[in-house]
Chain A
Amino acid sequence: MSYSSTVPQAAEAGGTSRGPARPPRTASFGRAVRDTRLIFVRCVRQTLRSKVAVVFGALQPLLYLVLFGPLLTELPGVAGFGGDDAWRVLVPGILIQLALFGAGFVGFGLIAELRSGVLERLRVTPVSRVALLLGRVLRDTLVLVVQAVMLLAVGIALGLRAPFGGIVLGLAFVVLLALSIASLSYVLALMTRREDAFAPLLSTVTLPLMLLSGILLPMSMAPGWLDVVSRFTPFRYVVDAARAAFQGRYSSAAVLEGAAVMAAMLVLSVVLGAHRFRRENA
């Protein structure tokens, strides 16, 4: 069988290509699940070897919580602020910030593996391509959950009072957000392939997104034009949804909108990530 040079990309296993001795789809699904577990376990072990990094990763949001939070409780008359409610606004914002920056940086690890040849070594094995992405992303999400729980504990100690169900729902938003941001971070890392190209791109993307999402102060305080701009960024909806959840307004428009935006973002980023990992020389 031969192909011409105009065929754009290599068709990948598990896809539409035909040929003899191809394992059935269910087998390749089973393989993907098993491989995801293998890669996940490997990644978790790597993380456990550098536990300090997990703590330090949560340090910046922790400082916001401890050194900036108390100021907000002293801001009476501003929408949603003043008194105890301040924590229910601030803590979800800080958690989303954690997801944005924590998961945003995971691409650096992949660039290191690209350089040391680990990724190529794995790509020569029959390992499921999707597992190479999902194993990592799930580890990143686990790390984030641990950090988020640490932050929540500090928040509660400082005076956060929120219904348990609301905290769990808010946390679910944070986890899904981390999942999609980690995927996107890996996509960017594989596209740039070098730290010195990845780092500036990352901060160019994350900083405006963070400011526009109303992580520190709710966007309801923003002047009209800023409010409009922020409605074009996905995080705005996720932050609002997490806040509504913390306030116990489970079926509010904010939660529903946030869930819809989150679902769309999740699908898009995982599909993008999977596509990128399946491509040649990913």
Chain B
Amino acid sequence: MIETRGLARTFTTKHGAVEAVCGVDLTVAPGEIVGFLGPNGAGKTTTLRMLTTLLAPTAGSATVAGHDLRSDPAAVRRRIGYVAQGGGADPLVPVREELDLQARLYDVPDRGERIARLCGRLDLDGLDGRLTAELSGGQRRRLDLALGLVHRPPLLFLDEPTTGLDPQSRGNLWEHIRRMRAEDGTTVFLTTHYLDEADALCDRILIIDRGRIVAAGTPAELKRRIAGDVVTLELGDGPDAAARARDALSGHPGIREAAVTGDTLRLTVENGDRELMTLVRTLDAAGVELAALHLTRPSLDDVFLTVTGRSLRDAA
């Protein structure tokens, strides 16, 4: 659905050139929900604006929804929907008129019905006479979403769609996105700062930092590949038990890191599920007594920290 090669964009400003995106290669398959994750200024919005024909790339090529971005942008536009990070509703236009114009521009055949259904799903009922400026922040965000979805595009770009939404609205939107994929096979490419969102919604995640993709994979793969699982062993008998346990396990293939603090031993292992049994057996054979054992999976936050060197929460 999306395929880019070496996509890049450099902005020229008074203070010199800004390399916002430098050579992005990415592929999104039809029907996938892909999350684009990265700290502020990583180049997410710039990439999306290029893929939606708003910004000409300074280098590279891309095929979006089956059409070449540069030679046939009009064909691309007919097949995509885009919800910008800052929205795009006119503050002085009533909600109804905005939706109606958008549907007409996309030649939506069953306009009235479609708008009514969408408003129902996105909780916009009863607001159609209001000016956009008279909506709350979350309501306005939902209107932006409705504007981007009204024509049931096969490919949807969402730039931080749930920023500013309350938890219930976020949940509704996730559900709506999943349903679009299930019913119409919609492909979704979204950016987010919320790791739980990426985790819950996306089939695949791309992490971008300073204009480059630094990691890609399913949420589970990323967590496994980058941070590994953490196994914490609490050892009961004697002050040197933790050290003895560490020695017993040294050379064990799945272990990447082992750290002793007091009477606990913290292991970073490749695949916690699989290693757990052999760890216990090895310790048992060495005669080390185990008081407790936890397996913690890394969060996407850990992944993020490992890959970009900073926490997403600090960056956001």
Contact = CB atoms under 8 A, between A and B. Distances in A.
A21 B78 CA distance: 11
B91 A42 contact: no
Interface string B254-292: 000000000000000000000000000000000000000
B144 to A, nearest CB: 8
Given A1-B68, A2-B61, A18-B71, A42 B97 contact: yes
A251 interface: no
A2 B57 CA distance: 12
Contacts of B236: none
Given A1-B68, A17-B71, A120-B84, A42 B101 contact: yes
B283 to A, nearest CB: 57
B30 interface: no
A134 to B, nearest CB: 15
Interface string B114-156: 0000000000000000000000000000000001000000000
A36 to B, nearest CB: 12
B181 interface: no
Interface stretch (B102-110, B202-210, B303-311): B102-110
A116 B105 contact: no
Contacts of A46: 90, 92-93
Nearest to A2: B61
A124 B102 contact: no
A45 B92 CA distance: 10
A280 B55 contact: yes
B56 A19 contact: no
B78 A126 contact: yes
A13 interface: yes
A59 interface: no
B105 A120 contact: no
B54 A124 contact: yes
B5 interface: yes
A13 B52 contact: no
Interface string A81-100: 00000000000000000000
A121 B73 contact: no
A2 B97 contact: no
B86 interface: yes
A17 B69 CA distance: 12
B74 A126 contact: yes
B58 interface: yes
Interface in A112-160: 113, 116-118, 120-127
Contacts of B88: 116-118, 120-122
A19 B72 contact: yes
Nearest to B69: A10
Interface in A209-259: none
A19 B87 CA distance: 31
25 contacts: A1-B61, A1-B68, A5-B8, A5-B57, A5-B60, A13-B73, A13-B74, A14-B74, A17-B72, A19-B71, A21-B75, A22-B72, A38-B101, A42-B93, A45-B93, A46-B93, A116-B89, A116-B90, A117-B89, A118-B90, A121-B84, A121-B89, A123-B54, A127-B105, A281-B55
Given A117-B86, A120-B54, 12 more contacts: A1-B61, A1-B68, A2-B61, A3-B61, A5-B58, A13-B74, A13-B77, A17-B72, A35-B105, A126-B77, A280-B56, A281-B56
